[in-house]
Amino acid sequence: MSLTGTPPEVNDDLARAIDELAAGAERWARLPLDGRARLLREVHAAIAPVAEEWVRVAAAVKGLPAGSSLVGEEWLSGPYSALSAADAAARSVEALARGGSTLEGARLGAAPGGRVAVTVLPESLRESLLFHGFSVQVWLEPGVTAEQARREAGLDAVRVGANGGVCLVLGAGNISSIAPLDALYELVAHNRASIVKLNPTFASLRPVYEAAFAPLVREGLVRIVNGGPEAGAYLTTHPGIAKVHITGSARTHDAIVWGTGAEAVRRRAAGEPRLTVPITSELGGVSPVIVVPGRWGAADLRYQAEHVAMMRLHNAGHNCVAGQVLVLSADWPQRDAFLAELHAAFDRLPARGTWYPGTEGKVGQAVADHPGAELVNGRYIVEIGPGDPACTDEYFAPVLAWTQVPGTGAEFLDAAVAFANDELAGTLGANVLVVPRDRRALGARFDEAIVALRYGTVAINAWTGMGYSVVNAPWGAFPGDTLDDIGSGIGVVHNGHLLARTERTVVTGPFRPFPRSVLNGELSLFPKPPWYPEARSATATGRAMTEYAAAPSWRRLVPILFHAFRA
């Protein structure tokens, strides 16, 4: 046995893969932009034929029956996201090859605080119809001008000849498109080949990934491997690794960077990380759902309660950006009515087993920490206050906490933002629900509150998970985390336009689904979203959206709209 605990022949295979990737990175460095674009188009073409198998294997991992509407989650978070990312990458590199900008198709405008906002959804007439009522903007760091944004867009993709070496991508085990998309971003944005070590939960997806990304495997730009902690330890210390990217927990990140136990204490005190190469990361956190009090109709209470339930229960709660702490106003007359609808939504949504390793222990600890926890259809709802463990422990499980702060209007919003910023761990995503007329009444105070929220993705009347799916938007923590205090991580991925110096993504959606949206003065034709657990046609919609992403056309929009309006 080797010192790392893996057999020598396994280490030999990993070392050989790193050597092949180093050669591949050198070939990529010499490859002209038009050649890179053609290769990325090959990747896009390779994903569609294995989409069905991708979904089948991912659903089996999660214990989803073939006929379940929940399989729609796997279409949208798996091959659909991968196809969208490959297309976005190819478009950006094609634009650079023509001598243009990666910002082609995106609109630049102004965001609060003198920021530049880049609109990344919608970017076409078809997107306007497909996501009618939704918009996604990328806010750049304060002080970045529109001219700078255009000049700096492209990142390292513009540096033909630059070799970024080999990246170790430590893949997540909850959403099946995360690991391959991380590797794709390293290649396009930073000229790095990647060895992707899959989380053991997705070990069975390895053949699917290798088929979907066969052009990159063929060119020595991606290698996909399975293995446990010993393989990860070997790879993080291999001299051929130039960079590490991890999607996972802060605990795992810190063990890689600082070690564990006494070693970690000593290294932190001395400022001497055991990891000697750069690392970027996406590490989750405790996501708030802020409900701005107002006068809501009965249908609004029911729909938005289901919205909150979806944020918590999507993927059985095993999401890094699942809504975990609901922030309500203690002075909202409809607070109890909303909580009653939330309980009803938890009870109404299909029962579903948890599947992620370690969930039982996390749920048990959450229940032990909250003697008053309410069990609703196999899920838990708990009331908390400041300093509660739910504020700092990411449950990654079907446990929803709620709290209340005083005030209405701007007073409440300021208090809720302060609670989210100061009490909750992490800065990955925050959600805000507000009736459109109340948002208009708040005016600049609402914009100021969004600016004050220190989160990498902020969703207004939408779920931050949509920010993950819109691959032209950067995905990651709010800037400012460090190796010493890692929070939700460092750096971003996705970022299809290859924007530099991004601060946050802002997703805006309709407060009501069609037709109630139009009847109440909202300009939105979007029905109940297919990612809602109660969307009966979710699987058919997810499949149709994946087929559209494989070959976008007006003709392929029709089945999407047909299935979506049956939700």
Query: Which residues are within 8 A (CB) of 179 and not within 5 positions of it... i.e. 6 or more apart?
Result: 169, 171, 172, 196, 198, 199, 202, 209, 247
Q: Is the peptide bond before 386 cis (omega within 30 degrees of 0)?
A: no
pLDDT of 6 > 80? The answer is no
pLDDT one-digit tens code per residue, 19-33: 999 999 999 999 999
Predicted pLDDT of residue 7: 67
Please state which of the ranges 456-470, 496-510, 525-539 shows the lowest mean pLDDT: 525-539
* Rounded CA separation 329/327 (Å): 7
Contact 497, 137 (CB under 8 A): no
Quote the pLDDT of residue 1. Answer: 25
pLDDT band, very low/low/confident/very high, at 531 (cuts 50, 70, 90): confident
Give residue 533's pLDDT: 74
| pLDDT of amino acid 3 | 35
pLDDT at position 9: 67
Domains of the chain from N-terminus onward: 8-102+159-248 (3.40.605.10), 287-457 (3.40.309.10)
The pLDDT, as a whole number, for residue 381 is 98
Q: What is the mean pLDDT of residues 511-520?
A: 96
Residue that the structure tokens 């979806």 belong to: 310
Examine the pLDDT at 478 and tell me if it is beyond 60.
Answer: yes
Burial annotation 480-495 (CB, 10 A radius, 16+ → b, else e):
ebebeebbbbbbbbbb
pLDDT of res. 8: 65
Go through 444-468 and write b for each residue having 16 or more CB atoms within 10 A of its CB, e for each that does not.
eebebbbbebbbbbbbbbbbbbbbb
pLDDT at 567: 74
DSSP tag of 483: S
Dihedral of CA atoms 187, 24, 151, 497 in degrees, nearest 10, equals -30
On the question of pLDDT at 4 being above 60, the answer is no
How many angstroms separate the CA atoms of 332 and 343, rounded? 18
In DSSP terms, 398 is beta-bridged to none
Q: Is the pLDDT of residue 2 over 50?
A: no
- Quote the percentage of the chain above a pLDDT of 90: 94
* 78 vs 85: CA distance, rounded Å: 11
Question: Mean pLDDT, to the nearest integer, of 54-73?
Answer: 95
Query: What was the pLDDT predicted at 532?
Result: 83
Q: What is the mean pLDDT of residues 210-237?
A: 96
pLDDT at position 497, please? 98
pLDDT in tens, 87-130: 999 999 999 999 999 998 789 999 999 999 999 999 999 999 99
Task: Return the residue matching tokens 């890094």.
Answer: 320
CA 352 to each of CA 197, 304, 349, 526: distance values in angstroms, whole numbers, following the listed order:
28, 21, 9, 27
Tokens of 75: 């279409």
Mean pLDDT (the chain, rounded)? 96
**Which of 106 and 223 is assigned the larger pLDDT?**
223
Q: What is the mean pLDDT of residues 275-298?
A: 97
pLDDT tens for 190-214 read 999 999 999 999 999 999 999 999 9
For residue 356, the SS3 value is coil
